[in-house]
Amino acid sequence: MLCFHQLQSMAPLNFLPSLLLSLLLSHFPTPSLSDTGSIGINYGRVADNLPQPSKVVQLLKTQGMNRVKLYDTDSSVLTALSGSDIRVTVALPNEQLSSAAAAQSYTDSWVQSNIAAFYPSTQIEAIAVGNEVFADPKNTTVYLVPAMQNVYNSLVKYNLSSIKVSSPIALSALQASYPSSAGSFKSDLIEPVIKPMLSFLQKTGSPLMANVYPFFAYTGNTDVISLDYALFNANQSEAQVDSGNGLRYNSLFEAQIDAVFAAMKALQYNDVKLEVTETGWPSKGDENEAGAGGANAAAYNGNLVRRVLTGGGTPLRPNEPLNVFLFALFNEDQKPGPTSERNYGLFYPNEDKVYDIPLTVEGLSNSSSESTPVNGSKTQVPTPTPAAGGGGDVSAAATAGQTWCVANGKAGVQQLQKGLDYACGEGGADCRPIQKDATCFDPNTVEAHASYAFNSYYQMKSRGPGTCDFSGAAYVVTQPPKYGTCEFPTGY
């Protein structure tokens, strides 16, 4: 992963009668989980304190993760993954591209030693030939497509052609990305490498791999990109409408992906699919890395998982499920660069969670009242909680600065009313402003009243972990809520 700043734009309090409530709820469709995407994770090892590969495999299994991406073909890791039913993407590193491009005999030997020796007991499903090659300061671009072709030829030679061959690109390969419909590749890359690579992917049925980081775009352009838009938290008024095609974007992530799709379409490779091989958000960063922090990392990755696993594609390709690899499994203490580079992990090296988010459909159903398709709608996850022994990074981040707790309209009227009644009753929230004729009674809706009550409770509890949850009916935002003229408190 390299850091490239890619500019991208950015009820009433009384109980409802049970019959009326059931009629209302009957109009909320039950989501279909068919044609959903998949969540995998990157297992990087640029660290001196990580658990043994056998323990890592057990960790993946306990978390319900069945796809993992590596940055090499380390034999101890591939051996540990044998018989695990975890699908694996391996990599041929950039420094081997020139040798792989020069002779098929080299890739024959590489495939025999690193693929055939482990397959099929280790379920290798794809090979990433290089990583962000166009951004490699050693200028290995000229070797990329010949290396990909030789690797593929070697797979065919050894009857392994079901394994896909591709190469992850950084969004810096785009010349234009805003609006998404204007997406285009850099002109100096198109003829030498982009067209030959897309032609290869088209012929072999492999997806284009892309590393997509809204964090980089946000932290480099906080004046034009809202944090909520980068974290999948944008409401309808904050959504971005593409001036070129009229499509509405509720998240920067989807807008960035569609810019890649548009760039491929401009070259007439509209049938090539895309897989997001890296995306994530750091739980720590330097002072100049705006947005880095545990609460934002939990919000981004948690909302992303929900977005992927509840089905649907992007506005430009709505019927094409998203397949995504989170970055990364562990914090890696030996990575160079800014503090953020060492803090993308979902887990500390001791296997404690940096923050707690659901990673599977089952986890989503346990963390929220319903799993609702979110294409074109707002999605959230419960407030993150710090892991035991994890240093409390998320707790500190979640309680620092100005944050508010608001209702998740997708939880449904019944769940919101239940949370509202608790907050205003046993919870002890100050609900006087949402009584009739009071300052925050209007708008007179369950969602608006629940938002006020949830926030009152959240602030009263000092914005502590787990105090903005209400069984998945609430979530934290970083911008002041807007319900009529009502002003929400930020502390007591």
Q: Which amino acid is at 327?
A: F
- In Å, how far are 31, 414, 435, 439 from 11, measured between CA atoms? 24, 11, 11, 15
Q: Show Cβ contacts of residue 67 under 8 Å, excluding neighbours closer than 6 positions.
A: 38, 39, 40, 41, 86, 87, 88, 89, 125, 325
Nearest in space to 1 (alpha carbons), one of 160, 196, 170, 150: 170
DSSP string of 114-168, one letter each residue: IIITTTTTS-EEEEEESSSGGG-TT--GGGHHHHHHHHHHHHHHTT-TTSEEE-E
Q: How far apart are alpha carbons 301 and 354 in whole angstroms?
A: 12
Q: How many residues does the chain have?
A: 492
- Amino acid letter for position 77: V
For residue 322 the two structure tokens come to 């998203």
β-pair type (38-42, 67-69)? parallel
Catalytic residue IDs: 132, 278
Residue 479 CB coordination number (10 Å):
15
Q: How far is CA 164 from CA 40, 157, 210, 250, in A?
A: 16, 14, 15, 31
Residue 25 DSSP SS3: helix
Q: Provide the 3-class DSSP secondary structure of residue 104.
A: helix
Q: Which two tokens stand for residue 111?
A: 């495939």
Hey, how many other C-beta atoms are within 10 angstroms of the C-beta on 333?
14
DSSP 8-class letter at 411: G
